[in-house]
Copies of this chain bind each other. A is one copy, B any other.
Amino acid sequence: MVAFPFHIHATDGAARTGVLETPRGEIRTPAFMPVGTAGTVKGLLVDQVRATGADIVLGNTYHLMLRPGAERVARLGGLHKFMRWERPILTDSGGFQVMSLAGLRKITEEGVSFQSHIDGSRHMLSPERSIEIQADLLGADIVMQFDECPALPAPEAEVRRAMELSLRWGARSKAAFGTRTTQALFAIVQGGVDEGLRRRSAEALVAEGFDGYAIGGLAVGEGHDEMVRALEFTTPLLPSDRPRYLMGVGKPIDIVESVARGVDMFDCVLPTRAGRHGQAWGDAGPVNLKGARFAEDIAPLDETLDCPASREYSKAYLHHLVKSGELLGQVLLSWHNIAYYQSLMARLRAVIAAGTLSDFVAQFRAGLAKRDA
């Protein structure tokens, strides 16, 4: 029995649109999850995040376990209450972030021991501890298995070793998660850009049985074309009746191409990070508001978006805020970018429902190509 019903309302080629039902509300798919790393989608009020159309946000186990601490969040009533987001939350397992602490972490069969980047204190993450943090202490709605994700390119033996370890950690994660039904556990398929390894990983995890399947280990250095190629042979390996989540992706074009290949869920820090650096995203890519050409441009970023940051402020004003290093510039551009991403997801859902996704994808690619020309 799976935790959350997943209703697919329409398909168009490999793409699907539907609703994942959770006790804290529906997640419309394809879905983009804004990243609330440390209990906050950087710079934004939860009401602002919700108003963009986000159904779910992501929290980072690594950051939250170090500060304010997972037990502390639990004593304060859980992550939803702590950050005042009452809708679904997905937490990552912490694996990806501790792996990137080169020199500060040690991987064993048991798990990963590491030093905090904040104060150097020593910590341990294992499948059992990650699940305890995510499911019991933070109280996530969607919990990710603990995995190891190597950066690409990497030798085949290294990608295989990490994938096999992730399978064993996946089984231990499932055992630790137990028979919960008000929370869901997602597996993470590894194997880099190697079709055989992806098949081995997917088949083992599907045999184990999870509530959803993430594709990990992409968007880690292999490039857009390799990522798309890996998706083409990976998504067909996953059960069509469960949500598929491409972790850490990505740019709008990455999302569009991935949806066309059957991916249902995404997360990425790009919209908020870009916003803090003065960038506003749109179908034609990002623009940097610092550019002198915006100094007297009275047009808003995008009047078609139902977001005050996109509709109500002139580019000239945003240019001024960015040039002046004003907090409000970071807030407004982060807000616009999240709204843009959510509008992209809404358009993808609509064209899948209408059966016109391939036209949309072609137009989207053409818009980018025109810009690059």
Interface presence of A40 (CB below 8 A): yes
Q: How many residues of A contact B (CB 8 A)?
A: 37
CB-based contact B43/A320 at 8 Å: no
Comparing A68-76, A248-256, A352-360, the segment that makes contact with chain B is A68-76
Interface presence of A83 (CB below 8 A): yes
Q: Which residues of B contact A42 (CB under 8 A)?
A: 326-328
Return A190 CB to nearest CB of chain B, in Å: 30
Q: CA–CA, A320 to B327, complex, Å?
A: 19
Q: CA–CA, A125 to B327, complex, Å?
A: 28
CB-based contact A76/B296 at 8 Å: yes
CB-based contact B82/A39 at 8 Å: no
CB-based contact B76/A314 at 8 Å: yes
Interface presence of A67 (CB below 8 A): yes
Q: Which residues of B contact A284 (CB under 8 A)?
A: none
Please indicate which of the listed interface residues A47, A276, A320, A326 has the most CB atoms of chain B within 10 Å of its own CB: A320
Please indicate which of the listed interface residues A39, A321, A326, A328 has the most CB atoms of chain B within 10 Å of its own CB: A328
CB-based nearest B residue for A83: B317
Contact with B along A260-303 (1 / 0, CB 8 A): 00000000000000001000000000000000000110100000
**Chain A residues within 8 Å of B, Cβ to Cβ:** 38-40, 42-45, 47, 67-68, 72, 75-77, 82-84, 276, 295-296, 298, 308, 312-314, 316-317, 319-321, 323-324, 326-328, 330-331
11 contacts between A and B (CB under 8 A): A39-B317, A39-B320, A40-B328, A43-B327, A43-B328, A67-B324, A72-B316, A82-B316, A82-B320, A83-B317, A327-B327
